Every structure is written in structure tokens, then in C-alpha cells.
A and B are shown apart, each in its own frame.
Chain A
Amino acid sequence: MNQTYAVAAVTVVVLATVLVGALGLRISRTTSDFYVASRTVKPALNAAAISGEYLSAASFLGIAGLVLLQGPDMLWYPVGYTAGYLVLLVLVAAPLRRSGAYTLSDFAEARLESAQVRRLASLFVVGIGWLYLLPQLQGAGLTLQILTGAPDWLGSVVVAFVVTGAVAAGGMRSITFVQAFQYWLKLTALLVPALFLVAAWVGDDAPRARFDAPAVFQKHTAVRVDDTVRVDFDGPLTLTVSGTVDLVRHDGRPVALDEGTHRIESGTTLRFPEGAEVPRRTTEGSDPLSWSQPLSGGRDGYQLYATYGLILATFLGTMGLPHVAVRFYTSPNGRAARRTTLVVLGLIGAFYLLPPVYGALGRVYAPELALTGAADAAVLVLPERIIGGLAGELLGALLAGGAFAAFLSTASGLTMSVAGVITQDVLPSRGVRHFRLATLLAMAAPLALSVVATNVPVADAVGLAFAVSASSFCPLLILGIWWRRLTPPGAAAGLVVGGGAALTAVMATRAGLAPEGWAHTLMAWPAVWSVPLGFLTMVGVSLATPRHIPAGAAATLARLHLPEDLVGRPQHEGVPR
């Protein structure tokens, strides 16, 4: 891939982000501006900002990669990300806005009048935020590596610096503008190349992608394996090998490989003949790519269970993501919060029509990505592969810019919310200067982790964050808003048991501790049991501690549900009755 255009595109996106951020800084005058854009953001701008923030690297790169690897079942990811907003809209949006909470910790404190629950919630906000930031940074590293061959930590560092700078300097006001701009950038960056790619595909007699059979090389293809892999051949195959296979060195001569598993050393180049089946990559516990194994591991009954695990985690996990909750505070009132969410649903729904197109085309034109493990790169390499020439390079550069916008916007939103929590709950005072210090802290931890722990597939680590959020904050929000008998001990127990169980289960699976079979599937996809567990613990412990029902529970619930004009708060819109 020609580096010049791609590097130029990434540079333009980064510069534009800094510029738009600086523009926001000029009009970001007060502390209120800084944190919540003074609550004056109009639904259309706010909705674009929310969408821009929400569509992360997992959406821009990850979905196409997963579809390429595993077929249409993976379409549940974008469906779940969108449906999560629908669930958020009907159960949480307006009351959360009316609670006046800035972060989820604020909500917990306002509703339960307990400093302990507040601290616990803060812990979860920071944890989930970091869990979600990590793949953004790693995705940036991967993208820059593919585009330019730069070492994979460089992209992470670039994103971390730009985001820390933009957030610390401009706060929420400037971030709102940046993110609204980045939504439209991401949509354009995915839409325009998609049109060209589909046109080229039609011109190529529209070859069909097969997902129920192994992918097939469309033409003679050379594949360079950068990391040592073990692959499965479904049948004997003759191919040209330069490098080491099964501990035997070959230098560019045809080799016949039997059916079964083969070990391919790093640096080996394989040349597959046209029509050959793409061998499957096998994963083992020690392989870092086994992160993506739980997704592919399930078959038959497991598959159905895993799908429902994914559905529950994404449908219910969205509402508990720290950067999503913060956004509701910037709406002027509950009614506007609802209308904003409706626009958001339209915007992200429109965006999610596109990544599957890349996944399907990738299965046809770049099937070897499944072998090298760089499926997340499908979106980036397709224009060069299908169209080629200058046009392909320019379109590839556009996609690279869009991908960087995705890392930047989601990472800024997350940093913003994590830093907000750190300022309020860890640092001694709440001035803007402390917020800037908190921004550094919020970004430093995931950056250090991303440099140490490499190769976490983007969509997967995000899935973990969703599962934890669905099992901890979802019960807290839903019960907090709709059930007046929730008590602080109940909420704390539910957070720890539900969220803790989901986190432990997934971590244990990733560490290779889960036994094979159903136990593995149950632990890899915890949401099906951990969400009910969180709810039941919260309800059970609350019922057992009725004396702890907060004194102001009735008043708080009234405030959450009554329209603003009835509670005597200043009215921002609508005719007075």
C-alpha cells in the first residue's frame, strides 16, 4: 500500500480534530461549558456527536473483520449496538437526564444517597472505560502498522496524545464539535469507497461469498505469515513455500501438504494456487488470538447460546457504558434527551448498513486475512485489492482517515468520562486544572496496557466491556429508575456479584482456565446468566434490607419521571401551560 496518501489522510484527520477542538476551546468559557457544554447542545448536533462517539474502531474495522471470518452470524454485533440504544431510549434516557447525573456514579449517589455505592460505581466506570479504551488504542496501532509499517505502539501513542490534548484543553464543548464532525467523516469514509467497491464487484460478475464452506482464493495469492501460526488443512494441497513449515525449511519449491494441522513459522511466504481453499487458523490457549476464539468456538447448540449471550450483552450493556451516560447530561431536558436518542438510532442504523458490505467483499477478495489473523484490516486493504491503482490508494487513504476518526472520537469520549469520574472521586478538588490532570491519568493506564499486552482483537475486548456493563450498570439503572425499594446494600451487592461474575468468567476463559464444552461456552458468553444474576442479587438484597431504603427515594423517583415543567425547574423549550 502506498504510504504517502494514507499518512496524509491520517495526518489531516488528526489536524482537523485538533483544529475543531481548538475552535471549541475558544467558545468554551465556563466550567459548565467545559464539563457538559452548558447543557445547550441541540438534538441534531448532540445526536451526531453521540453517534460519532459511539461508532468506535470495533464498528469501523471490527465488524467487517468478524463477518469475513465467521459470516452473517456476526451481524448481531451491529444489530446489538443499535438495539442497545433502543433499550436505553425506552428505559433510561429521559429519567437519566432528569436525574441531573453527570456520570453513572452521580446517578448512583443521587438515587441511593450513599457515598459507598458511589465509590463502587466509580470503580466500575473507570474499569469499563479502560477496558473499552484498550482496544481503541490497539486498533490505532494495528491500523498505522498496516498502513505504514510503523511499529504497532506508535498508533496508540498518537491517539493517546491527540485525545489527551483535545480533552484536557477543550473539555466537553470542544469534544461535542469534534465528535459531530467525526460522525460525518466516518460515514463518508465508509460510504464512498463502498460504492466504488460494489461497482467494481458488479463489474467483476459479482462473485458470491460463501460462508457455509471454507473460503476460496479467487486467484493465485501469496500470503506472508508474520507471526507463527498453526493452520488446519481440510484436504491435501500443493503450494509453493518460502520459509519453514512443520520445522522443515523450503525455499520457493512446490510442497505437498497433507490434510491436518501444520505449523507455519513467522516470516514464511505461502503461494496458493487459484481455487485453493483457505486453510483455517487453529487457536490454542497460549495463542493471543484465542481472544477471538469464543466467538468461533460455538457450534450447534453452543452457537445459539452464544448468539443470545451476545444479544443480551449488547442490548443491555449500552446503557452502562460511561461515555454514553455522560452524553445525556448535555441535553437540555428529558424530552430533548429522548428526541436526541431517536436521531441517534437513525444515524447509527444508517452507518451499520456499511461494514457488512466490507465483510462480505473481504470474504471474496481477501480471504487470506483469516489465515494471517489480520481480519481487522479487511476494510483497509479492500480498495487496493479490488480497484487498485491511484483510485484504490486514494479510497484506502479515505478509509484510513475514517478509521483514525473512529479511534479518536471514541477514545475522547471515554477519556472524558473516565477523567470526569477521577476528578470527582479521586482528586481532592474539582477545578478545571484537576480535570486536566485526571485526563492524563485516564489515558495513561490503558496506554501502558496496550503497549504491554498486544494482539487483543478489537471487537472482542469491546464485547467484554459490554458484558460487564450489562451485568452491573444495567440492573442499577433499570431498578434505580423504576423500582422504589432499591437499597444501597442491594445495589452494591448487585454491582459486585453481577459485574464481578461477568468479568471473572470472561477473564478465566481468556486465561484458558475454562474446561472444554458447555462450561467454556457458558463462561465465554456470561451475559445470559450474569445479567439475571445481577438483577436477582440487587432485588434480593434490597428486599432483605428494607430499612435502608433511602429517605428521599419517593422524591427522587418523582423527579426522574415528572416532566421538567411540573417540578418547577427552569424551562428550556415548549410553551408554558
Chain B
Amino acid sequence: MSADQTPRREVVTGVPRGTRRPPGHAPARSEISEQTTLGTTYVRSLMRSQLRAALYALGTLALLVGTLPLLFALPAALGGSPGSPEPFAWIALGVAVYPVMWLIARWYVRRAERNERDFTRLVEGR
């Protein structure tokens, strides 16, 4: 392997000038990095909103997928099963759950990214 193929070495000593903001505009950032009471509160608020999003997603998963075994067991439990639930089980477990799970995941990713964006905006004072 020849030397000219190795990536150029760049030394980064700070935030690029263009993006550096005037001091005093981002007090929250230092509150967070110095772990003051206020900074901790900031972090907790973000954690809480992220946890809420996660719990919504998990709740939806439990409700739509986690209850299926009970649903399948229902006809037998009610005594006398007229018609087996088999075709329903095949369609639900074989096909339908996958798009449902993907949609839950997409919702969560969007929500989590929005939470982070909102938080950044709050901290940067915009």
C-alpha cells in the first residue's frame, strides 16, 4: 500500500470559525458540562422525554403484538372452538406483525430525533 493512499492528516484545534457563536449565548451548555443543578435538570428533562417516547413504543408493541397469544387462546378458553384460529395466526404472526413493528420503530426514531432537536434548541438558546 503506497503512502499517498493514506488519508491526509488534519489537525483540529477548535470549532470552525464560521460556526463559533459569540460567548454568552450558550450558558446552558456550560451548565450541563459543569454538572450544576440546572445542568442536571436539563439532562433529566431530556432523559424523561426520551424515556416517554420509548415507553409509548413499547406499550404499542405490547398492546398489538404481546396480546396475540391471549387472543389465540381465547376461543379454546371460551369452551368449544368453532373453527381453529390457525389461518388468523399465520397471517398475524407470519406477515402482519413485521410492518407493524417497523412503523412503531419509525415513529420512535422520528420522535427521539425531534426530542433531541428541541433539546439542542433549548440549550443553545434559540
**B-binding residues in A (CB < 8 A):** 26, 29, 71-73, 75-76, 79, 82-83, 86-87, 89-91, 94, 211-212, 303-304, 307-308, 311, 335, 338-339, 341-342, 345-346, 349-350, 352-353, 356, 360, 482, 554-555, 557-558, 561-563, 565-568, 570, 576-577
Q: How far is the CA of A212 from the CA of B81 in the complex (A)?
A: 12
> B97 — nearest CB in chain A belongs to which residue?
A79
Closest CB in chain A relative to B58 CB, distance in Å: 6
B13 within 8 A of A: no
Asked if residues A561 and B43 are in contact (CB atoms below 8 Å), the reply is yes
Residue of B19, B108, B126 near A576 (CB, 8 A) is: B19
Q: How far is the CA of A555 from the CA of B43 in the complex (A)?
A: 10
Closest CB in chain B relative to A325 CB, distance in Å: 18
Size of the B side of the interface (Cβ < 8 Å), in residues, is 53
Q: Which residues of A contact B101 (CB under 8 A)?
A: 82-83, 86, 345, 349
Chain B positions 18-42 with a Cβ under 8 Å from a chain A Cβ: 19, 29, 32-33, 35, 39-40
Q: Which residues of B contact A565 (CB under 8 A)?
A: 120
Q: How far is the CA of A277 from the CA of B10 in the complex (A)?
A: 73
Chain B positions 51-90 with a Cβ under 8 Å from a chain A Cβ: 51, 53-54, 57-58, 61, 65-66, 69-70, 73, 84, 86, 89-90
If A356-B94, A566-B123 touch, whether A212 touches B86 (CB-CB below 8 Å) is yes
Q: How far is the CA of A558 from the CA of B29 in the complex (A)?
A: 12
Asked if residues B32 and A212 are in contact (CB atoms below 8 Å), the reply is no
19 CB contacts below 8 A, A to B, read: A71-B86, A79-B65, A82-B101, A83-B65, A90-B57, A91-B54, A91-B58, A342-B109, A345-B101, A349-B98, A349-B101, A349-B102, A350-B98, A557-B47, A561-B43, A566-B32, A566-B120, A577-B120, A577-B121
Asked if residues B98 and A352 are in contact (CB atoms below 8 Å), the reply is yes
Q: How far is the CA of A257 from the CA of B82 in the complex (A)?
A: 34
Asked if residues B124 and A335 are in contact (CB atoms below 8 Å), the reply is no
Q: How far is the CA of A75 from the CA of B123 in the complex (A)?
A: 46
Identify whether the interface residues of B are mostly helix, strand, loop, or mixed: helix
Asked if residues A342 and B105 are in contact (CB atoms below 8 Å), the reply is yes
Chain B positions 106-122 with a Cβ under 8 Å from a chain A Cβ: 106, 108-109, 112-113, 116, 119-121
B11 within 8 A of A: no
Asked if residues A554 and B35 are in contact (CB atoms below 8 Å), the reply is yes
Q: Which residues of A contact B58 (CB under 8 A)?
A: 87, 90-91
Q: Which residues of A contact B66 (CB under 8 A)?
A: 311
Q: How far is the CA of A307 from the CA of B40 in the complex (A)?
A: 42
Closest CB in chain B relative to A305 CB, distance in Å: 9
> B47 — nearest CB in chain A belongs to which residue?
A561
Closest 10 CB pairs of A and B: A349-B98, A75-B93, A90-B54, A576-B19, A72-B89, A307-B69, A90-B57, A558-B43, A563-B116, A356-B94
Residue of A72, A211, A212, A353 near B98 (CB, 8 A) is: A353
Asked if residues B86 and A89 are in contact (CB atoms below 8 Å), the reply is no
Asked if residues B89 and A341 are in contact (CB atoms below 8 Å), the reply is no
Q: Which residues of B contact A356 (CB under 8 A)?
A: 90, 94
Q: How far is the CA of A346 from the CA of B99 in the complex (A)?
A: 8
Q: How far is the CA of A225 from the CA of B4 in the complex (A)?
A: 64
Asked if residues B95 and A353 are in contact (CB atoms below 8 Å), the reply is yes
Q: Which residues of A contact B89 (CB under 8 A)?
A: 72-73, 75
Asked if residues B93 and A566 are in contact (CB atoms below 8 Å), the reply is no
Residue of A87, A341, A558 near B32 (CB, 8 A) is: A558
Q: Which residues of B contact A90 (CB under 8 A)?
A: 53-54, 57-58, 105, 108
Closest CB in chain B relative to A353 CB, distance in Å: 6
Closest CB in chain A relative to B117 CB, distance in Å: 8
Q: How far is the CA of A82 from the CA of B95 in the complex (A)?
A: 12
> A310 — nearest CB in chain B belongs to which residue?
B69
If A335-B116, A561-B43, A566-B29 touch, whether A577 touches B69 (CB-CB below 8 Å) is no
Closest CB in chain B relative to A571 CB, distance in Å: 9
If A75-B89, A577-B120 touch, whether A562 touches B46 (CB-CB below 8 Å) is yes
> B108 — nearest CB in chain A belongs to which residue?
A90
Q: Which residues of A contact B121 (CB under 8 A)?
A: 577
> A346 — nearest CB in chain B belongs to which residue?
B102
Q: How far is the CA of A353 from the CA of B96 in the complex (A)?
A: 10
> A567 — nearest CB in chain B belongs to which residue?
B33
Q: How far is the CA of A447 from the CA of B66 in the complex (A)?
A: 37
Closest CB in chain B relative to A70 CB, distance in Å: 12
Closest CB in chain B relative to A559 CB, distance in Å: 9
Asked if residues B61 and A83 are in contact (CB atoms below 8 Å), the reply is yes
Q: 7 new A-B pairs (CB below 8 Å) besides A75-B94, A554-B43, A562-B43? A: A76-B93, A82-B97, A89-B108, A554-B40, A561-B50, A576-B16, A577-B126
Residue of B6, B33, B39, B61 near A568 (CB, 8 A) is: B33
> A71 — nearest CB in chain B belongs to which residue?
B86
Asked if residues B112 and A338 are in contact (CB atoms below 8 Å), the reply is yes
Q: Which residues of B contact A307 (CB under 8 A)?
A: 69
